[in-house]
Structure 1
């Protein structure tokens, strides 16, 4: 028996009537605009067999039921007319039941049919309580009897109602059924239930797709996924669960999302388990305080409107497209760049995101990525996921591990919630080993660290503690977790650079600290000095001219082979992180000129800090801690630092200082000698 057949046999014996072949859903869904969960309920009823003939007959039966009984809003009057002429008719519609207190009677409202206040027996709301909580899809037998004597009475009567959506899920059945599957088999079942084929995915891709489900099983969970198009980022929140809503276009109001003061009604966060924003670039609040209220809600699960505070449990999901490669984004800005500017630079908002899912690692979906095999009926799947929201597993990691000291309170909450969500999804029966929990914990730490790494770029030293780790309770061994893409973001190469190439870190025009590269050329000539890449920046040009003037006067003291009369110098300046050119260029320019003149490279992996005046006076480094953090992010291992800045090292975290070989200099000539490794 193959793995697939074994899984199918286990599904049949443990979850019979709750599974469906997903290719049948695809076949009919393409031609019928009905919710997936309605379709799969019918397929589960009529196609729950392996006999191709029964399946074929079942499909025809489902198509006929949908054609004859599914009510389309634009054909509501036609359906009512058929009901009147036949006297009886069966419809498929979304039914909501309310209690009319004045008449002490339950009444039903039909969503697509557009009729309201139809009397219904009290047995249905008592048996299926979800009819009272937002409504469910049902197959309803209707009768039409017009009473001539009492023309005010409603001629439409409900004779029988059968819920299509699962009216109730017994979570204990699920826990018991889960025991029959291995971890790998259960992951495959979950992925096939959302329509994906696990055999086409590697281990990492499977985990990333599972992470998309965490906002549906965890209350108040904030997830962000940015990546290329066609990776199915919004599919789960739109198609898979009737308990989540996808806000397309991005524009919304506080009244719509949180609370309508005029109507005194709670918005989307009170009605849905998960609110997903499609295309984050377009998120826009018509109200000025929209982002502030959203921040409050994302942090605490509550928000204040008017005189009272309201609580809700909906998770927030932000999905959008990255148009550049990740490497480019990491070098030039941050991975939150696709967000609107007011969000992309607001560290308080970004810090509330629990998980940044790397969408660029999810494959672009092709037809073979969609499964033809068995998975849970979508509605059963959505309902047991909803049921799992009621339990909490955020303390699951305490049994085996402790979190490292670099995680602050927000980091800890984020990691615990991700662990809780994945544990509930994969091990609803609560049975897992230490290794299985460690696998989940490492993933949770990575997803939160990705948020923290970007906060560090945007907000500086406030977020410097990104070296996330966890400690084994038995062995006390501390293990660190990194993010894969950070390795590729080092801009200062290891090893020796070419002569005339210098890297410096300082404040750019935008006020942000960034990395700049100088590349030099030496040509026979008459002592001309040309600077490219500075544009019309007068301060930057003056700074570079200071360096050349200093070299003219003091060049011979540095080296007899430096000539400022028989050679021409050309330096190309590059702003590597797009923050605007710096004007702190005298010292790096002097080092670059000397390096190319004597054809000697700077020492390996060096970042030059500080500056000199026209007379050679050394100025100290402003904002030393943040500047050193940028050096570390850029890949520097050695830092050339003015001795006057030594006094400020006390403001820098010791872990950061320990990352470098610090080389102190006293004056301009000392800086040149030490940068070039000349004693």
Structure 2
């Protein structure tokens, strides 16, 4: 186990489970993760390998015997009849039969209906009345000649969710972890390997949890397919429900006026709409209007009566176009159905998750480390809905007076939610508070900036904050940094059809010219790049400064692992692109020998040396084992030193083995880490 896993087991004993076990026990059972982790939490919440293996077998046996597969429902019904009583795991819903004045249950997979349920059970578990709850139930079979009497009798029913937890113990244990360790624990709890994500990407994943711990939080995430947008809402918590965006009606979501039955918002903490995007989807305008009122005022009307609810709203959908395309031709809400493409509706969204920054889920991204049993974390998040952390930045920072009340509400709710998740114990440092505040502002700014493109009645807003010294810090979105030429354009109206927007001066393709085109005169400069920024390549970054050099020295202690050596090979490719075919360039690498795989390192360098000779590169290397090599830089013999805070390791993990992935072939399609580069002019030696 890793040091973090040992620490997790020490402070949360019995409340955590190894995350790869879910796949081990799931088999072909179509059940949410929280159901499986509930069972694993009963038998495998330990770090003792023997106990884990025994527990796995027990859980597999329970699933094999008691989980009802639809295609085996007949066999299970037969078992109940023959044995008289049998335990099943199934999704159960209930409804009131007005003719008999009794509640009747329906078993989703088992296929039986009209099973009598006592009023006490329904009162204790009201979600049975809406969409159903996964339960462990004992069913009895007693045949009656009266055709109006169902032979099926519900003996006991237990929803699959935690019965109790100690919030104070949770907060006390949090204090034993650093912020980085805690974030990694939460990422592992979601099921991902934290080593595959940068800090910004981790925060993006955690924003998906805010609807569970913040009342009436409105969140949207639009991005490419396969990034796990809906996973958290369908698998993570028994208090959230994922519904298809095309199947929502006013009675189902809010209230049925004829029966008086309250809809989903009255029973669930989070209602998420899957497949929300799609211009051609038919949407009821009445639904949009009532949603607008609910998202703004936390209430909805039922005839003459006004009702309130606390459910958060989440909208997830796929985009078909790239970000620069959307910014050039329309806006980042372009994929929404016409009725939802409404400035008044969109203005009620508190945070826009940039789904294009989230990696497509790959097998290597899943965790085999320890994380909370998701049901336990779901209960913790639910209890946090009673707290408000939105004022915790005011000790250090003040929001700009330019920010409207609705913008401020969005920022405050996101800030409060993230602070609850990251710092339930309080005590965040000034820098940590600032990081969360900037992130919260950016998510709301993304909404408002697009509204200004859609509806010109929205005025410019300066999204900034001030520190205690009165210094103003301006917040920008990442796509604003990447595509400034397209970001601040007003989208053409239908009357202007056929007219394309022109990027602003000094910008090529809507991206900073310095990344893609050689400058007429090279100059000293310092560049800063944000995490997840795209459009960056070694050629665009260094090419102009390498051109004309006959000797280049690279100092980087971390050219050891395969992906680091591959980075170096791609740096050599940039040199080849920028040299005349008849010229030769000597490239010398100063690095550190790998302690465990030094032979492999040698072998890789020898292969590069042999290949480089054929294209006019004389590659040599040396190992500096003095322990004093820390600086990372590139020095040319024609007067330039390029200082790199991360060396050549500027890209995040990508699918290196996928031959048909553009991120594998072209650097500009990879997400970057946060890094800085300084170009310094030096006197040439005689």
Q: Which TM-score band (shorter chain)?
A: 0.5 to 0.7
Distance 1:480 1:512, change over 3 A: farther
1:491 to 480, 485, 492: 485
Deviation at 1:144, TM superposition (A): 5.6
Q: Which residue of 2 aligns with 1:277?
A: 273
Q: Secondary structure at the match of 1:224?
A: strand
2:413 to 408, 411, 417: 417
Distance 1:18 1:110, change over 3 A: farther
Deviation at 1:307, TM superposition (A): 1.3
Once the two structures are superposed, the pairs formed by residues 282-431 of structure 1 within 5 Å of their partners are 282=278, 284=281, 286-344=283-341, 346-431=342-427
Moved more, 279-288 or 186-195: 279-288
Paired residues of 2:12 and 2:173 also in contact (CA < 8 A): yes
Q: Which residue of 1 aligns with 2:228?
A: 232
Paired residues of 1:285 and 1:291 also in contact (CA < 8 A): no
Distance 1:490 1:110, change over 3 A: closer
Q: Deviations over 1:499-526 (max 9, x none)?
A: xxxxx999877269998669xxxxxxxx
Q: Distance in 1 between matches of 2:491 and 2:62?
A: 70
Q: Which residue of 1 aligns with 2:15?
A: 18
Q: Which residue of 2 aligns with 1:571?
A: none
Deviation at 1:420, TM superposition (A): 0.8
Is 1:7 paired with 2:17? no
Q: Distance in 2 between matches of 1:312 and 1:171?
A: 24
Q: Which runs of 5+ in 2 are unaligned?
A: 504-508, 511-686
Distance 1:15 1:111, change over 3 A: farther
1:86 to 83, 88, 91: 83
Is 1:266 paired with 2:262? yes
Deviation at 1:311, TM superposition (A): 1.4
Q: Distance in 1 between matches of 2:141 and 2:163?
A: 27
Paired residues of 1:225 and 1:320 also in contact (CA < 8 A): yes
Q: Deviations over 1:300-319 (max 9, x none)?
A: 11122321112111112222
Once the two structures are superposed, the pairs formed by residues 41-190 of structure 1 within 5 Å of their partners are 41-72=38-69, 75-76=72-73, 78-94=75-91, 112-113=109-110, 114=112, 118=116, 137-141=134-138, 164-190=160-186
Once the two structures are superposed, the pairs formed by residues 210-225 of structure 1 within 5 Å of their partners are 210-225=206-221
Paired residues of 1:269 and 1:313 also in contact (CA < 8 A): yes
Q: Which residue of 2 aligns with 1:549?
A: none
Distance 1:471 1:214, change over 3 A: same
* Count of paired positions: 502
Distance 1:13 1:52, change over 3 A: closer
Deviation at 1:145, TM superposition (A): 6.7
Q: Distance in 2 between matches of 1:30 and 1:394?
A: 43
Q: CA RMSD in A?
A: 3.8
Q: Deviations over 1:383-441 (max 9, x none)?
A: 22222222222222223322111200110000000011101111122332222211110
Distance 1:339 1:287, change over 3 A: closer
Q: Distance in 1 between matches of 2:491 and 2:432?
A: 45
Once the two structures are superposed, the pairs formed by residues 584-599 of structure 1 within 5 Å of their partners are none
Distance 1:239 1:84, change over 3 A: same
Q: Which residue of 1 aligns with 2:28?
A: 31
Q: Distance in 2 between matches of 1:330 and 1:16?
A: 49
Q: Distance in 2 between matches of 1:110 and 1:152?
A: 19
1:477 to 466, 471, 477: 471
Q: Which residue of 2 aligns with 1:207?
A: 203
Q: Which residue of 1 aligns with 2:495?
A: 510
Q: Distance in 1 between matches of 2:159 and 2:492?
A: 64
Deviation at 1:14, TM superposition (A): 2.9
Q: Which runs of 5+ in 1 are unaligned?
A: 494-503, 519-575, 578-679
Paired residues of 1:97 and 1:108 also in contact (CA < 8 A): yes
Q: Which residue of 2 aligns with 1:664?
A: none
Instruction: Mark the structure with the bigger radius of gyration.
Output: 1
Moved more, 73-82 or 260-269: 73-82
Q: Deviations over 1:29-73 (max 9, x none)?
A: 242212222211222223334444443333222222111112345
TM norm structure 1: 0.66
Paired residues of 2:84 and 2:142 also in contact (CA < 8 A): yes
Distance 1:163 1:355, change over 3 A: closer
Deviation at 1:485, TM superposition (A): 1.2
Distance 1:514 1:272, change over 3 A: farther
Q: Secondary structure at the match of 1:449?
A: helix
